[in-house]
Amino acid sequence: MKRLIKYNMKNLIKIFLFILFLTPFTFAQGLKIYGTLQPGNLLIGVTKNAKTILLDDTTLDFDTSGVFIFGFDRDAIGYHKLKVIFNNDEYITKDFKLEKRKYKVQRINKMKTKYVTPPKSALEKIAKESKMMKFARKEVGKLKAPLFTDGFIRPVEGGKYTGVYGSQRILNGVPKSPHNGVDIDVPKDTPVKATASGKVLIAGNNFYYNGNFVLIDHGFGLTTVYLHFDKLNVKTGDYVKKGDVIGFVGMTGRATGPHLHWGAKWYNKRIDPLSLLGLGLALDIKNQ
């Protein structure tokens, strides 16, 4: 009997959490927020008649339909304040408290030594690529249109998720920076789709760590990145629609086998790409 109660409680909690996920937090008339509040996640908000929207001291972009986004970095914790100032100068604020998120430790032991500690001869190439990446990312935030309001899709269907967001990486026994995306094991040449519409900020060839890769700007500071392609199907400056094939899976750059690395950022904050997938829910609101 005790066990039964325990079981039912577990189920009730599960159902409650499920409903919580599907239901937007409604703070006041005219402000709804979609997503799950935790470090590494992106959230979508919808409001009406806003004049200014602030997250802590940062002014957020929003469009005429009142859609805005914000996200939290991997290691964000503590209190954050969202403030919406309306056209009539009234305002509402909402405080969020972020609990520390726990991350896995992932050990990869078959990495080629040159990707764990790059040889001196590669340092110049790595520095040049880092500059190219910085140059491409200078565009982030300039696209003042949310091209993602019809939701996000997975870049590949199926596949085994072999790497998760945020994990502490230990390559051949050497601690490295955390993993800023998910790794999906899919066969070489699997077509990879843009998870939302956007502009290709850089389609890079043969980068030391990234291999052949694509960085897409979806507007309002949100970017997604796709690494280790065998072949690219787009070039820098292209506009892509959600679902367009941007490249084919490979193992170029720092990879031990064919897989897709899928990452996301909101400005310079590292976002868990899986947190984007539930956000198509915001659409219903936009069309109301």
Size of the site for Zn ion (CB under 5 A): 3
C-alpha to C-alpha distance for 12 and 19, rounded to whole angstroms: 11
Q: In the set 169, 193, 261, 269, which binds Zn ion (CB under 5 A)?
A: 261
Q: How many other CB atoms are found less than 10 A from the CB of residue 68?
A: 22
Compute the least distance from the CB of residue 256 to Zn ion, in Å.
Answer: 10
Q: Tell me: does residue 183 bind Zn ion (CB under 5 A).
A: yes
Structure tokens at 216: 């897409």
- The H or E element containing residue 199 is strand 198-207
Our CB check for Zn ion shows the closer of 183 and 217 to be 183
Q: Tell me: does residue 169 bind Zn ion (CB under 5 A).
A: no
Q: Tell me: does residue 217 bind Zn ion (CB under 5 A).
A: no
Compute the least distance from the CB of residue 152 to Zn ion, in Å.
Answer: 18
Compute the least distance from the CB of residue 147 to Zn ion, in Å.
Answer: 24
Our CB check for Zn ion shows the closer of 146 and 273 to be 273
Compute the least distance from the CB of residue 136 to Zn ion, in Å.
Answer: 19
Cβ(57)–Cβ(257) below 8 Å = no
Cβ(27)–Cβ(33) below 8 Å = yes
Compute the least distance from the CB of residue 183 to Zn ion, in Å.
Answer: 4
Reference 178, options 160, 192, 191, 163; nearest CA is 163
Distance between first and last Cα of the chain: 47
Instruction: Using the rule CB under 5 A, give the single segment among 1-9, 150-158, 242-250, 261-269 that binds Zn ion.
Output: 261-269
Cβ(42)–Cβ(276) below 8 Å = yes
Instruction: Using the rule CB under 5 A, give the single segment among 59-67, 69-77, 89-97, 157-165 that binds Zn ion.
Output: 157-165
Our CB check for Zn ion shows the closer of 243 and 257 to be 257
Cβ(231)–Cβ(212) below 8 Å = yes
Q: Tell me: does residue 272 bind Zn ion (CB under 5 A).
A: no
Our CB check for Zn ion shows the closer of 106 and 233 to be 106
C-alpha to C-alpha distance for 181 and 103, rounded to whole angstroms: 12
Q: Which residues pair with 83 in a beta bridge?
A: 54, 93
Tell me, what DSSP letter sits at residue 66?
-
Instruction: Using the rule CB under 5 A, give the single segment among 18-26, 82-90, 134-142, 177-185 that binds Zn ion.
Output: 177-185
Our CB check for Zn ion shows the closer of 85 and 111 to be 111
Instruction: Using the rule CB under 5 A, give the single segment among 63-71, 107-115, 161-169, 208-216 that binds Zn ion.
Output: 161-169
- Largest distance between two CA atoms of the chain: 68
List residues near Zn ion by CB under 5 A. Answer: 163, 183, 261
